[in-house]
């Protein structure tokens, strides 16, 4: 059923739906090309077919790499994605004195040589996930100095839960000069304690789990995150000798061990990349195969796409077929509403890509972002491609192709990781040529996304622009 614009929910949009002004060639706010300005150039519309191999999870890999700092000896991680965030995290570990070797999608880390507890400021600016190291450093070495994190500008992501949790484990924590200074109050190490998170933050849950795994005594954490990546981290720490109970539930009980030992781990497939390619099949009205897939980790998206009319079949234990091809579904995709929530709710990291799809469905959809307060900037870029979207705060009313959205190629900017990849999806469905700038954001979290799409039949190229002199 089409949604009408509710004046209470959408009193005064901070930017309006697409008009003749936004569809014109107005590029004054685009970055001027530099010698090192790579872009994605997409010619659409595309029809995809074939098989896609899902890479290892970036969101699982980052805390797992940080957790190697807890361990004596060598840890070996398999199936890490080759993305810039992983490279940045490896650089942070190396800068602390860990020995890091990367080869064939694997990374071997030995942290016995760690001789520093302060992370380089420039390294921290590259990646928000670098903040994970504060828990292992304080737990194993008694102190840490870590700059406040960088990463995508998608709203407030404070680290107060991390810091309050560390205090509950016996740390003295201070903020000075844009850095967090933390040390064990007793001069020896952290101690077990109780802490309830005000919000089930994934980052805070993972940081405190690592810290508590080496604390003296038992720690009880409540209202924790239940995301699959939390479960993966708990499993790795357990394999290293930690005692953790309750991973995947609201509460964690952790009995600390003074020494953990390196172990081996295979990174699970990336559920966000899985969802992104499922949405790519839907937006291009195509049929593709994906593997490996863990269906329980994308069940919320499977339900929504099935509701829209997609046919999703499980071919074997790890392979899924996703089809929105007209010959398979017999009608066009219908609109649906989403509201982002912590797992097992609809993932915020799939909200931008889903918004792109909804502009090609029939009817109107309501998109509610309840996790981050600034995760709507991609809507402005989708408007440049012809989408009709009305945004107010954390809510967006998305009009389908029968209510004013008509995707046409244009020049747009990737303003963050997931918003950037939503522009790729829109470009695949749009008529004409789409150029996406600032693709470094996208390459933080997607391994060779251009080549993967090329293998499915998409006309997408990664190009490096050279400056063109302005002739007056």
- At 35 the pLDDT is 55
pLDDT at 337 over 60: yes
pLDDT at 183 over 80: yes
Give me the residue spans of the domains in the chain: 38-54+269-464, 58-266
Q: Which fold has domain 38-54+269-464?
A: UDP-n-acetylglucosamine1-carboxyvinyl-transferase; Chain (3.65.10)
Work out the pLDDT band at 18, boundaries 50, 70, 90: very low
- At 178 the pLDDT is 83
Contacts 24+ apart (CB under 8 A), 439-443: 439/38, 439/39, 439/40, 439/414, 440/38, 440/84, 441/152, 441/414, 441/415, 441/416, 441/417, 442/40, 442/414, 442/417, 443/83, 443/84
User: Residue 261's CB: how many other CB atoms inside 10 A?
Assistant: 14
**Which pTM was predicted?**
0.89
Stronger pLDDT, 35 or 241, i.e. the higher one: 241
Positive or negative torsion for Cα 29, 32, 38, 39: positive
**3-state DSSP assignment of residue 346:** strand
Stronger pLDDT, 375 or 71, i.e. the higher one: 71
Cis check: omega of the bond before 354, within 30 degrees of 0: no
Average pLDDT score over residue span 158-182: 92
Mean confidence (pLDDT) of the chain: 90
- At 99 the pLDDT is 97
pLDDT in tens, 414-469: 999 999 999 999 999 999 999 999 999 999 999 999 999 999 999 999 999 776 55
pLDDT at 27 over 70: no
CATH architecture of 58-266: Alpha-beta prism (3.65)
Strand partners, 171: 184
- At 468 the pLDDT is 58
Work out the pLDDT band at 198, boundaries 50, 70, 90: very high
pLDDT in tens, 86-135: 999 999 999 999 999 999 999 999 999 999 999 988 888 888 889 999 99
| CB distance 132 to 124 below 8 Å | no
pLDDT at 32 over 70: no
- At 15 the pLDDT is 38
Among 18, 152, 240, 361, the one annotated catalytic: 152
Contacts 24+ apart (CB under 8 A), 293-297: 293/54, 293/269, 293/318, 293/319, 293/320, 294/228, 294/268, 294/269, 294/318, 295/320, 297/228, 297/268, 297/271
- At 352 the pLDDT is 97
Average pLDDT score over residue span 179-200: 95
- At 467 the pLDDT is 61
**What is the total residue count of the chain?**
472
152 part of the active site = yes
């Amino acid at each position: 059923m089409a949604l009408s614009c509710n004046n209470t929910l959408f009193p005064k949009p901070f930017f309006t739906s697409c008009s003749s002004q936004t569809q014109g060639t107005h590029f004054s706010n685009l970055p001027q090309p530099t010698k090192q300005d790579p872009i994605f150039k997409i010619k659409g519309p595309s029809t995809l077919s074939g098989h896609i191999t899902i890479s290892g999870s970036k969101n699982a890999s980052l805390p797992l790499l940080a957790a190697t700092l807890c361990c004596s000896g060598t840890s070996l991680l398999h199936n890490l994605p080759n993305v810039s965030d992983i490279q940045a995290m490896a650089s942070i570990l190396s800068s602390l004195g860990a020995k890091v070797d990367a080869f064939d999608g694997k990374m071997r880390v030995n942290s016995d040589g760690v001789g520093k507890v302060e992370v380089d400021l420039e390294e921290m600016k590259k990646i928000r996930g670098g903040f994970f190291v504060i828990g292992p450093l304080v737990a194993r070495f008694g102190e840490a100095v870590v700059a406040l994190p960088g990463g995508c500008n998608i709203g407030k992501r404070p680290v107060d839960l991390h810091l309050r949790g560390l205090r509950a484990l016996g740390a003295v924590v201070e903020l000075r000069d844009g850095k967090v200074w933390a040390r064990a109050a007793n001069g020896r190490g952290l101690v077990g304690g109780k802490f309830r998170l005000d919000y089930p933050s994934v980052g805070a849950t993972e940081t405190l789990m690592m810290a508590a795994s080496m604390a003296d005594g038992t720690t009880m954490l409540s209202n924790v995150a239940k995301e699959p990546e939390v479960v993966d981290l708990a499993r790795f720490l357990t394999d290293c000798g930690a005692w953790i109970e309750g991973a995947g539930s609201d509460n964690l009980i952790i009995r600390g061990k003074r020494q953990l030992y390196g172990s081996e781990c295979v990174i699970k497939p990336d559920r966000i990349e899985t969802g992104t390619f499922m949405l790519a099949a839907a937006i291009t009205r195509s049929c593709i195969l994906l593997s490996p897939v863990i269906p329980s980790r994308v069940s919320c998206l499977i339900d929504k796409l099935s509701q829209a009319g997609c046919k999703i079949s499980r071919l074997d234990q790890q392979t899924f077929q996703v089809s929105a091809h007209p010959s398979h579904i017999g009608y066009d995709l219908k609109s649906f509403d989403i509201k982002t929530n912590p797992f097992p709710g609809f993932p915020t990291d799939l909200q931008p890509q889903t918004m792109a799809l909804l502009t090609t469905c029939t009817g109107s959809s309501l998109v509610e972002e309840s996790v981050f307060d600034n995760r709507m900037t991609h809507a402005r870029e989708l408007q440049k491609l012809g989408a009709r979207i009305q945004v107010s705060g954390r809510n967006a009313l998305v009009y389908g192709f029968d209510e004013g959205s008509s995707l046409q190629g244009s020049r747009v900017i990737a303003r963050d990781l997931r918003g950037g990849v939503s522009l790729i999806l829109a470009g695949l469905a749009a008529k004409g040529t789409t150029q996406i700038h600032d693709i470094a954001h996208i390459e933080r979290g997607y391994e060779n996304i251009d080549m993967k799409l090329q293998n499915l039949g998409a006309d997408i190229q990664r190009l490096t622009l050279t400056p063109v002199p302005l002739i007056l």
